[in-house]
Copies of this chain bind each other. A is one copy, B any other.
Amino acid sequence: MNAASSKSGSAKRGRKFDSLEQEVFLNLWRTYDRLKALEDEMFSQSGISAQQYNTLRLLRSVYPAGMPTLVLGSRLISRAPDMTRLLDKLEQRGLLVRHRPPENRRVVEVRLTPEGLQLVNKLDSAVRKCHEQQLGHLEEKSLQQLALLLKAARQPHEDSENLSLVDQ
């Protein structure tokens, strides 16, 4: 079936991987896992999760306007199937408010409160420092190339409709 595809079938790589594609994916997984561990540790000191932070950051980008729940969910970096409960917690802490506009009571508009805005602003420097710790050892050229390759890697698997923060 793939005798013709010399690319992934080259017998030179004998050792641990069935294919170059597998090697790349496992490296992606491992690297994500290691870097996420650093981020998790940073966020745990702030009492907020990475998902929650990204939610607040996204809401800040339209502040003081709001955003419907589903739009918010589709624009997050990683898909979150239970937006409702994630927003519940942030609302309980007074970081955002929800309300149903009378002209279309199906949607729920989510807006950052001044307290939420203040918190996400306060976290910025810690987040930047964390990213610096994660990847600061790489040269600028490598970072740019890595970003490009990662975008190219997922490009065929993006819904063309829902573009997230990281898409151009």
Contacts and interface: CB of A to CB of B under 8 A. Distances in A.
A156 B96 CA distance: 37
A128 B33 contact: no
Size category, A interface: 35 or more
Contacts of A167: 30
Given A27-B166, A35-B28, A153 B135 contact: yes
The binding surface of chain A is classed by DSSP as helix
A82 interface: no
Contact of A138 (B19, B153, B164): B153
A28 B78 CA distance: 11
A136 B8 CA distance: 9
Given A21-B143, A128-B18, A152 B166 contact: no
Contact of A147 (B24, B77, B138, B165): B24
Interface of A: 7-8, 16, 18-39, 61, 77-79, 124, 127-128, 131-132, 134-138, 140, 142-147, 149-158, 164-167
